[in-house]
Structure 1
Amino acid sequence: MSLSLCNTRPTILTRGARVTRAARRLTPPSAVASDPSSKNASASPYVKPPVELKKVTFAEAMGFAGAGPEKINGRLAMVAFVAAFGAEVSTHETVSQQFGDATVPVIGTAMLFAAASLIPIMKGAIDEPMGPFNSKAELVNGRLAMLGLSLMLYIENQSGKAFF
């Protein structure tokens, strides 16, 4: 059975009944999708089908063409640059002095961020953009943070004092 709306009056049509063109045009897609006798009874034009996630091995994720190294290094560089900037402004110590003062927390934070970045990649998570927050912007910001951190380390090494 399917439901057809003609002249705002619902009409129930049986399987063998003839349906006019006007009735077909006025039949809402939800009524056709809810018909258990139709082939696509579970498919609805308004609901996306579930996406099957492709699991990735550690070697594939961290390989040369994998998504892991670029994302992890970019995220670690962003965290390191912001943390180094904040610590330099407050303590006036170089990045190498900061690392010497708090080696274990820095390495622990790096391991935590690396694991938090790698696990969704290995589970096959899909990067869905949310406004300005998308994977392309993250890669650009990560690369800029890598350059900024490298430049800060180079300048501090040459001058022997904190950059900020």
Structure 2
Amino acid sequence: MAASSYAMQSILANPLIRISSGSRVNQFGVPALHMRRNVGLRVRSMAKEEQPSEPAIPVTPPPSVEPKPQPVSAPSPKVSTKFSDVLAFSGPAPERINGRLAMIGFVAAMAVEVAIGQGVLEQISNGGIPWFLGTSVVLTLASLIPLFQGVSVESKSKGFMSSDAELWNGRFAMLGLIALAFTEYVKGSTLV
């Protein structure tokens, strides 16, 4: 506010600016200002005349600062490949293998139920045991081979397809299989 007041006072006090008597007033209540043309106004350059050049002082570059070496990321900790560590209760294999089997089992059970109309218990009793055992052996071996080679599941986990997502999907599939079998048992017929 003070700056605008100062600017307005300097405009009104300037002798080169005059307010005409019949001028109109703008929206702020300030009369329109007209500037007088001063024909005798000259502009002079304030630049210095060329002087003899002085010897240049050599400029030494600043001492070079060597970049600090970036620390090399520590290698990921080595995963134990001992049989007892891989298949321990809190090891990487048991829940993952059970979850993978449950995911395949749930999808297969629902597909057979929709296609043929057999419930989970009927599928197992009508020749489903060899299929279950064969699938279990193949998936268990496929899951254990990388773990025995020292590859962790977290190292292959990126973005949307993370190792945690696989664990949660496996847990939901296990619950789904139990719920499907229990519902069919209580109901006495297939779910679909």
Work out whether 1:112 is the aligned partner of 2:154: no
TM superposition shift of 1:162? 1.3
Instruction: Find the counterpart in structure 2 of residue 102 from structure 1.
Output: 128
- The aligned amino acid for 2:128 is A
Instruction: Find the counterpart in structure 2 of residue 134 from structure 1.
Output: 162
CA distance in 1, matches of 2:64, 2:96: 55
Q: TM-score, normalised by structure 2?
A: 0.58
Mapped contact 2:80–2:86 kept (Cα < 8 A)? no
2:88 is paired with a residue whose SS is coil
TM superposition shift of 1:102? 3.1
List per-residue Cα deviations over 1:113-156 (Å, max 9, x = no partner): 11111222222212232211111111111111111110001011
Instruction: Find the counterpart in structure 2 of residue 77 from structure 1.
Output: 102
| Closer/same/farther in 2, CA of residues 21 and 98 from structure 1, 3 Å limit | farther
TM superposition shift of 1:161? 1.3
Percent identical residues: 35
Higher percent of residues as helix: 1
Mapped contact 2:117–2:190 kept (Cα < 8 A)? yes
- The aligned amino acid for 1:132 is F
Instruction: Count residues with an aligned counterpart.
Output: 129
TM superposition shift of 1:51? 5.1
Q: TM-score, normalised by structure 1?
A: 0.67
- The aligned amino acid for 1:21 is P
List per-residue Cα deviations over 1:52-81 (Å, max 9, x = no partner): 743421211111221111111111111100
CA distance in 2, matches of 1:64, 1:105: 26
CA distance in 2, matches of 1:24, 1:65: 48
What is the 5 A alignment of 1:2-151? 21-22=63-64, 24=66, 53-99=78-124, 100-126=126-152, 127-128=154-155, 129-151=157-179
TM superposition shift of 1:106? 2.0
Mapped contact 1:55–1:123 kept (Cα < 8 A)? no
Quick check: which has more Rg, 1 or 2?
2
Structure 2, unaligned runs of 5 or more: 1-60
